[in-house]
């Protein structure tokens, strides 16, 4: 199970337990916590999420781990469950009151949505799209550097703006950050990026024209690298866009995999 205390994940590894818990809440019964949210089952083990009081003393066999740390140490599916849980908890904590009139919000039947108890407003857990693009010229790879990154270089990336397609976003970000034009844009893969709630959409693109230079002041270097001159890169296990899709077995009647009727909500 996973629980959250601010940015930390707290968990107990139930896989090695002799018997799975008969009731999920026994795991947090002695801890101060918010509402429990049932996420579904993974390999037959129920997964629940809840926020634990920040001051709470955890049992000896529990530990807190940040999502960043989990990213490089957990299997893809399990990591995805943790990120799912963190985003559901974050949504619950930020959607208590209507952003239009300030009235309390209540859950909508059949998903994670909430509606205002006074007006018509309803909302859902936010997912913010962002693009990341690997630009090449057939031989070389274009990487960028931000102040404070040390020896590390990264791909061009950025947030999608209102009214913009993903493709338009790639062209704009590349022009803004590197000053060049690209073509032969190809979608590769997407990945939830829970810092705090992005969906990272990965593309490749071929260099077309223009002189490379950082444009918007965000980057202090953009340059080509060959296979032989690549800068320091993180281990493969922590590369974005390489984990497998979420593998929770849960209620298929809901697009989010969970229906309100299957959620066990206890205080």
| Contacts to Zn ion by CB under 5 A | 98, 100-101, 103, 116, 118-119, 121
Nearer to Zn ion, 14 or 107 (CB): 107
Provide, rounded to whole angstroms, the least separation between the CB of residue 260 and Zn ion.
20
Element (H, E) at 168: helix 166-178
Burial-class residue 236 by CB neighbours within 10 Å (0-12, 13-18, 19+): exposed
Nearer to Zn ion, 36 or 116 (CB): 116
Tell me the β-bridge partners of 183.
206
Provide, rounded to whole angstroms, the least separation between the CB of residue 112 and Zn ion.
18
Nearer to Zn ion, 101 or 127 (CB): 101
Nearer to Zn ion, 1 or 98 (CB): 98
What does the CA dihedral 83, 84, 87, 93 come to, rounded to 10 degrees? Answer: -120
Distance CA 152, CA 31 (A): 41
Extract the tokens encoding 152. Answer: 């590390």
DSSP character at residue 112: S
Provide, rounded to whole angstroms, the least separation between the CB of residue 197 and Zn ion.
22
Provide, rounded to whole angstroms, the least separation between the CB of residue 247 and Zn ion.
37
Provide, rounded to whole angstroms, the least separation between the CB of residue 116 and Zn ion.
3
Nearer to Zn ion, 97 or 149 (CB): 97
Can you say whether residue 256 is alpha, beta or left, with left for phi > 0 and alpha for psi between -120 and 50 degrees? alpha
């Amino acid at each position: 199970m996973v629980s959250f205390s601010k940015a930390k994940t707290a968990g107990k590894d139930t896989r090695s337990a002799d018997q799975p818990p008969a009731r999920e809440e026994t795991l947090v019964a002695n801890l101060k916590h918010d509402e429990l949210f049932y996420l579904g089952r993974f390999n037959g083990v129920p997964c629940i999420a809840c926020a634990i009081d920040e001051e709470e003393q955890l049992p000896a066999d529990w530990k807190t781990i940040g999502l960043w740390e989990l990213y490089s140490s957990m299997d893809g599916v399990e990591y995805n469950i943790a990120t799912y849980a963190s985003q559901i908890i974050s949504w619950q904590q930020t959607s208590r009151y209507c952003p239009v009139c300030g009235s309390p919000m209540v859950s909508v039947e059949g998903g994670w949505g909430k509606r205002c108890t006074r007006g018509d407003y309803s909302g859902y857990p936010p997912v913010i799209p962002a693009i990341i693009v690997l630009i090449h010229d057939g031989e070389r790879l274009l990487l960028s550097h931000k102040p404070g990154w040390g020896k590390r270089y990264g791909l061009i990336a950025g947030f999608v703006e209102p009214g913009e397609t993903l493709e338009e976003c790639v062209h704009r970000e590349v022009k803004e950050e590197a000053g060049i034009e690209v073509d032969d844009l190809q979608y590769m893969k997407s990945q939830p990026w829970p810092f705090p709630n992005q969906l990272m959409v990965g593309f490749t693109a071929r260099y077309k024209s223009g002189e490379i230079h950082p444009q918007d002041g965000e980057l202090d270097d953009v340059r080509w690298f060959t296979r032989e001159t690549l800068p320091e890169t993180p281990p493969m296990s922590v590369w974005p866009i390489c984990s497998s899709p979420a593998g929770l077995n849960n209620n298929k009647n809901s697009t989010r995999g969970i229906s309100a009727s299957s959620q066990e909500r206890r205080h």
